[in-house]
Structure 1
């Protein structure tokens, strides 16, 4: 066995046996070389291989650290099937990794963290986001990016602020993000709905709305839609971008689920925007942990000054921004993203397999997604939705009614439940789907 291989095997053995625990800093390259009686380059190769295997990670000018594993922070949950939660799985939170990024951020940015900061956000983070967003085909300059307290803050600001087109009505997909819909209604902001189903949007109707509806902006989730789980086709995305320029209607593209799926080569609406009419929003809370409360808004130049005026201050934690900057720069974000969407893809496959297994009679229609977090279970009209949810709850299977994802006065609604696999334990997904099908069948018999 070569010296490098024997050193690598010894390090892996120590990691497995707990001699190096999650979050612990490993010996420096020089110290390890002295310990093993080898060259520094041999240790560097061993550490590099451990990084490839996601056993350790490096922080520049600090050293190498042991990666925390999900089982190290296993959250005790009951035996129920949770198809309701949209929050990330707590067992996948990168607690220890992000803790080290916080410590490194304090050391690196200590002179910037205890001031009022830039209302646009930490400049180094915005510069890092330039290349990070480019990976999603969002090409922007740092001056176009504003760091926000999650995507929700950005949504509230664009909803209140005036736009250069002088229009006032916000057009939203139906169904759509429930919390945002409730905000619009509570604030009395003019809002109209347009149907979006698992098959997509009627582009002719959309064009007519853009042409004559007095639309300030169109709010859409281009991929992994909440609650449908579906993504817009390339034709829909390119057409929306074209219509926005043609009719002077802005598009607010909420891409908050961008990192939670396996789709490759997906270009958001922003990538097709030739008239500076698309606002692109991204959240980092859904992939790291909700309490991070960080998002990014990419704005056309004509909206920047007004948006800043409504935002007024830097209310996104500077420490969190600095830690996220370290987290992205050191490749930990990409590794964690891969871990997250691999786990979620496994759960979506389990969900799809269970539907195929138990839905032989075709009692429910699904949105047929293969990636992301959500799936729509469309129900027969004869099933009482409230009773179904209560009966499932008695069987410890929790689901969300589709009613809340519509505007209060929107009439053309589909009857469905939203299924989220975010916190659904993989081994219980099959039982959960089986229970849903059984209760739907029971509900149809009661009506008959």
Structure 2
């Protein structure tokens, strides 16, 4: 036992001190056994423990490698301000070295195959890997119904433009909703109408009326970790939406872009509750790995496959990047990195909630109870001048996002709020940021223009 612990301690020390560099291949089990003068089983046990601690990872038929460490030197160039506006992941935890290793492994495995145009549906081996990956989120589909795209946005664009079997033309969107998609729909002149969604949820009776009489082609929704609200639909709401889709032959486009952040047990996607194939399920990998990855997956009903393929026409995602993602998922590196991101976000959300508890004791802001995810809605009193508030916060080097941009241009029933994102907010500055927001809101309420 003592020998094993000594070896484990020595290996950890060498990794922490940089003697074994990030992405570096460790000695083989047999060579390490010779180096330490012990049995192969002792080294195997030590490597297994280091894997549990996310210090190293294994590659089938290749060996063991040191997990890439965060690029902490990037912190030197960070602003001293509070960033509550950015929605992309923190660059300090991008898995640079790990993903580079996967790129090299993909090149070694597939060689010249990666330099062809490829299948418009995506790399076949990746789609088969995604079958089991998506099943973990209760999204069960054959590889033939999975299409790899260069992010979720291209899939959304194609779905908006292509005809649907129900013959309808109007797209129904939650209000507020994903701002970039709203601007796309308006710019393209695509028929679109909104339905109110608040931190409390959605009016299911109004939704049914829209499905019944609105000539709705599809309903675009973010059931969990909604942007910009940060809230999630209850299981009952998801089941009701799935039922209404079947009843009125309306399709659901389910943007599950934050699926990997996890959720309370029992809350499955709408896709899992619909039995009539009326749900298009979309997933992005950029929010967990890094934005530049530009890879997503669409799970399509059989009735939409042929039309979607005609509108897509050609491959739009790099073969090499797809192959690297396949390696990244297969070797368990995606799951390990996902846990790291989840823990980081959970700590920041906790810090935000604690700051709100301390500084919003009078209830000046309406803030939903959100325990995980990235976004939180800070609903403001009507007396607040939103533009002036944001300007004053900017002068204090606090960046926030106005809720105005998340509505259709002609939508009238808007809530006045700030969208707060914790993805790039430095934990030690979160309380200062929340305190400053409350101070400026009090100032607005006390001295309205």
Q: TM-score range by the shorter chain?
A: over 0.9
Note the C-alpha offset of 1:350.
Answer: 0.8
Query: Is residue 445 of structure 2 the alignment partner of residue 423 of structure 1?
Result: no
Q: CA contact under 8 A between 2:172 and 2:219: conserved in structure 1?
A: yes
- The CA RMSD over aligned residues, in Å, is 1.1
CA contact (8 A) 1:223 1:231 kept: yes
| Distance change (3 Å), C-alpha of 1:153 and 1:125 | same
> Which residue of 1 is the match for residue 31 of structure 2?
31
Give the CA deviation at 1:112: 1.9
Equivalent-residue separation in structure 1 for 2:41 and 2:128 (angstroms):
32
Distance in 1 between the 2:262 and 2:228 partners?
A: 15
The aligned residue for residue 67 of structure 1 is 67
Report the counterpart of residue 371 of structure 1 in structure 2: 372
Q: Does structure 2 retain, via aligned residues, the 8 Å contact 1:262–1:345?
A: no
Does the CA-based 8 Å contact 2:235-2:266 persist in structure 1?
no
8 Å Cα contact 2:219/2:253 also seen in 1: yes
Tell me the equivalent position of 2:230.
229
Deviations 1:419-442 (A, max 9, x none): 000000000000000000000000
- 1:51: which partner in 2? 51
Listed one character per residue, the Cα deviations across residues 279-330 of structure 1 (whole Å, up to 9, x for unaligned) are: 0000000100000000000000000010011111111011111111011111
Q: Output the CA distance in 1 between the equivalents of 2:267 and 2:229.
A: 18
Deviation at 1:241, TM superposition (A): 0.5
The 1-side partners of 2:170 and 2:73 are apart by 46
* 1:436 alignment partner in structure 2: 437
Higher alpha-carbon deviation: 256-265 or 45-54: 256-265
Q: Residues 261 and 345 of structure 1 are in contact (CA less than 8 Å); yes or no, is this contact kept in structure 2?
A: no
The answer on whether the counterparts of 2:364 and 2:380 sit within 8 Å (CA) in structure 1 is yes
CA contact (8 A) 1:136 1:266 kept: no
1:407 matches 2:425 = no
Displacement of 1:68: 1.6
Match of 1:304 in 2: 305
What is the match of residue 132 of structure 1? 133
1:338-372: CA deviations, max 9, x gaps? Answer: 11011101111111111111112211101221110
Give structure 2 stretches of 5+ with no counterpart: none
Deviations 1:13-55 (A, max 9, x none): 2112221111111111222122122232222221111111111
Match of 1:211 in 2: 212
Give the match for residue 252 of structure 2.
Answer: 251
Q: Secondary structure at the match of 2:125?
A: helix
Measured after TM superposition, the shift of residue 71 of structure 1 is 4.6
Describe the SS at the equivalent of 1:147: strand
SS across alignment from 1:265: coil
Residue aligning to 1:320: 321
- Residue correspondence of structure 1 range 136-147 to structure 2 within 5 A: 136-147=137-148
Contact 2:234 2:267 in 1 (8 A): no
TM-score, normalised with respect to structure 1 = 0.98
| CA distance, structure 2, for counterparts of residue 96 and residue 19 of structure 1 | 16
CA deviation string 1:215-263 (max 9, x = no partner): 0000000100000000001111001001001100000000001112443
TM superposition shift of 1:409: 0.2
Question: Which residue does the alignment assign to 2:386?
Answer: 385
Determine if contact 1:260/1:373 at 8 Å carries over to the other structure. no
CA distance in 2, matches of 1:253, 1:213: 19
Q: Write the mapping of 1:20-169 to structure 2, written as runs, cut at 5 A.
A: 20-72=20-72, 74-75=74-75, 76-169=77-170
**Is residue 263–residue 371 contact of structure 1 (8 Å, CA) maintained in 2?**
no
SS at the partner of 1:217?
A: strand
**Unmatched 5+ stretches in structure 1:** none
Return the TM-score normalized by structure 2.
0.98
**Runs (4+) off by over 3 Å:** 71-75, 261-265
Query: What do residues 66-95 of structure 1 show as CA deviations (whole Å, max 9, x unaligned)?
Result: 112225553420100000000001111111
**Structure 1: how far apart are the matches of 2:22 and 2:142?**
37
